[in-house]
A = this chain, B = another copy of it.
Amino acid sequence: MTTRATELLRVIHARPGVTRADAARLIGVGTGATTELVGRLGHAELLAEAPAAPSGSRGRPTTALIPHPRGPLIAATSITHEQWRVDVVELGGAALATIREDLGDRTGDEVVAAVGAAVARLRTEYGDRIRGIGIAVPGTVSRDLMLDASNLNWRNVDLAAIWPKAGIFVAGNDATLAASAESHRGAAVGASVALHLRVEAGLGGAVVDGGRVLVGALGAAGEFGHMPFGDPTVECPCGAYGCWGTAVDGSALARLLGHHQPRDPISYARRVIASTDPAPAAATATAATALGRGIAGLVNGLDPDLVTLGGLGTDLLAAAPAHINQAYRAGLMGFRRENPPPILPSTLGDDGPLAGAAEEAWTALLTTLV
């Protein structure tokens, strides 16, 4: 049951710096109920009031609703192929602290231990204010919090070690979480249905419907890279043939250019896409065409308002927009061609997964605060 108190906290979280009067109007309560609500939530150390920027117009000035200085916090974590990072995030999405470190040659369990130590350090500083954690990882997370990241050669890494305490624990795929971030704080704000796609080693993403990320029955939705939009003769590491991911990522570029599979396919792909030599440009164009064609298929099936591209997708969109768009339009159903959903670059870039981890953990936490 959604109470007014939860609604108010959600509004403050979604629109940091909202004024008290605006927030009351947004949730549709009168001034009397607002007095009671703000007083109660302030007393519970969930929010505080600060002088608002002067509006310049007549009337009694209102205040800005801000996170309480002793209010709850979320630890947001991301692990990428290069580094790990932990942020302490308050209501509204602002970060109070950051710890980060390169992965180096560490194993998965060593990285989890390092992240756990960082979280423990932050807990000595912030104490029980940290009510939960959100973790973005470049792989799949099972129900029992075991991480598999084929890209990093990690198998069965136990994420539970990061956060032994009770509270909120959200862990998910980086592309899925980036989709959430893009919908709440990025290029897809306001979309009723948004599709976010993230190309790194392979391709992932998510559909966000009315602010809710569709995570699927096992939490494994969004593996759009394994839809058979690609070349049916190419075998994917997943075991299937024709996976779309194998047609758009670094491995695809290497195959098109006759190179060995690169050790770091993401940096490799960035170099290829940035190159203006004819051979790399042609490979980039081919990958961009495959990307556009697949996006069209997903748009036909899922009917989003817009599509956002993250990771290497952003690079491809910048380097070969014409190839993406031509293949996109050609693949759309007739009635969509007149006014196709726009394909936009992600605005959060590499911070997307971390921001999404914070977002999903905060969403979960908000339902538990009264």
| Residues of A participating in the B interface, judged by any CB pair closer than 8 Å | 1-2, 140, 148, 191-193, 207, 209, 214-224, 226-229, 238-241, 293-294, 296-298, 300-305, 330-335, 337, 341
Contact = CB atoms under 8 A, between A and B. Distances in A.
A221 B304 CA distance: 8
A226 B296 CA distance: 9
B302 A221 contact: yes
Contacts of A2: 1-2
B217 A335 contact: no
Nearest to A333: B238
Nearest to A240: B331
11 contacts: A140-B335, A193-B214, A207-B214, A209-B214, A216-B303, A221-B301, A223-B301, A228-B293, A228-B297, A239-B337, A240-B331
Contacts of A330: 240-241
Contact of A303 (B217, B240, B294, B298): B217
B227 A298 contact: yes
A342 B240 CA distance: 18
Contacts of A334: 238-240
Given A140-B335, A218-B303, A226-B333, 20 more contacts: A191-B217, A192-B217, A193-B217, A214-B214, A215-B303, A216-B304, A217-B303, A217-B305, A220-B303, A221-B302, A222-B303, A223-B300, A223-B333, A224-B301, A227-B297, A228-B229, A228-B294, A238-B333, A240-B334, A241-B330
Nearest to A341: B217
Nearest to A294: B228
A241 B330 CA distance: 8
A2 B1 CA distance: 6
A41 to B, nearest CB: 18
A302 B298 CA distance: 11
